[in-house]
Amino acid sequence: MIPVKLSALGIYLPTQVMTNHDLAKIVDTSDEWIRTRTGIVERRIASSEESTSTLATAAAKQVLDKRGIELLEIEMILVATMMPDMPFPSVACKVQDNIGAFNAFAFDISAACSGFVYGLETAASFIKAGAVRNALVIGAEVLSRCIDWQDRSTCVLFGDGAGAVLLESGEENCFLGSVLRTDGSGGDLLYMPGGGTKQPASVQTVENRQHFLKMNGPELFQAVVPIVCEAITDTCNKAEISIEDVELIIPHQANIHIIEEVAVYLGIPIERFMCNLHKYGNTSAASIPIALYDAVRDGKIVPGDYVMTVGFGAGLTCGASLIRWDKSFVC
């Protein structure tokens, strides 16, 4: 098995900031209502000229510029997203063309808010097997285009952004263990009914607002906490690492109360969880790489640390990955 390391990291965030006070002008809500129920203060909104592929491309370019790797040396591009520019071609194909990585094969993964963790493990497996020497893994979303701005239970939660990492073969394996889980029976807790083959776009589906995200928040909250805790515990067991030795857990940034519940359930201080959702809201597949970037920038991760990433979302999907931070990392 070929060792794998995470060698570089980058993000892209749209410049437009929408605060809770801004939202209160267009929907029946308030800053206090949103803060107390979610922990979110503001989020980024993509401009009309931006799309998932442009955000993903910008994050990818930042990673590659930092790493200093030749574009034609990139062998694999994987984009995790649930909101592509269009059904096909994939966002990954657009990124490959945009950056000029013409020797790379490219494809998307659709695992909602768990997508980035699914992508990490997929790319790491390709490298471990010797199929490729490196892989660019990107989480990117423009959720502002699929939320109902008349529904205060969902429109307050989401934001836009992208994060990217470069995985490479290394001298010592830094991907120590993972679990990927699915419970398809929870598919009706978070979904978008219109636009696919079941409900193709029509005048009726538009009038019935079927092309917007739908969520059963209370049931989703109750479902994900035990799943996330189990994923974290099982990943530690696989890697034969005590949870007490994990310096930082990077969870999907959905709701501060979910993160707090997981911390209580596992008996871990909340300080060992990276939380930046107050700045960006829920950016789905982009939330973990953006949080990872902020954690490194803020000095919360140093070489040798054990870092746990854990995602959860529509599907229901869940995934966790334990990474030992490599000394050669650049950010």
Nearest-angstrom CA–CA distance, 164 and 1:
24
Convert 36-75 to b/e letters by CB count within 10 Å (16 or more is b): ebbbbbbbbbbeeebbbbbbbbbbbbbbbebbebeeeebb
Nearest-angstrom CA–CA distance, 93 and 28:
40
pLDDT digits (tens, 9 = 90+) for 210-237: 999 999 989 998 999 999 999 999 999 9
pLDDT over threshold 90, residue 91: yes
Nearest-angstrom CA–CA distance, 101 and 178:
29
Measuring CA to CA, how many Å separate 207 from each of 86, 192, 212, 258? 21, 15, 11, 33
DSSP string over 157-186: TB-EEEEEEEEEE-SS--EEEEEEEE-GGG
pLDDT over threshold 90, residue 330: no
Note the pLDDT of residue 251.
98
Residue with tokens 């071609």: 89
Average pLDDT for residues 104-126, to the nearest whole number?
A: 98
pLDDT over threshold 90, residue 95: yes
pLDDT digits (tens, 9 = 90+) for 49-74: 999 999 999 999 999 999 999 999 99
Average pLDDT for residues 161-184, to the nearest whole number?
A: 97
Beta-sheet pairing, 76-80 with 105-109? parallel
Return the number of other C-beta atoms located less than 10 Å from residue 243's C-beta.
18
Note the pLDDT of residue 331.
64
Nearest-angstrom CA–CA distance, 330 and 323:
15
pLDDT digits (tens, 9 = 90+) for 256-273: 999 999 999 999 999 999
Nearest-angstrom CA–CA distance, 229 and 221:
13
Mean pLDDT over the full length of the chain: 97
Q: What is the pTM of this model?
A: 0.97
Residue with tokens 């994990």: 246
Active centre residues (catalytic) = 113, 252, 282
Note the pLDDT of residue 328.
80
pLDDT digits (tens, 9 = 90+) for 10-50: 999 999 999 999 999 999 999 999 999 999 999 999 999 99
* β-bridge partners, 180: 319
Q: In this structure, are residues 141 and 113 in contact, taking their beta carbons and an 8 Å threshold?
A: no
- Taking alpha carbons only, the member of 25, 32, 79, 37 closest to residue 254 is 37
pLDDT digits (tens, 9 = 90+) for 294-324: 999 999 999 999 999 999 999 999 999 999 9
DSSP 271: G
Note the pLDDT of residue 327.
82
Residue with tokens 């998932």: 52
| Percent of the chain residues past pLDDT 90, beyond the cut | 97
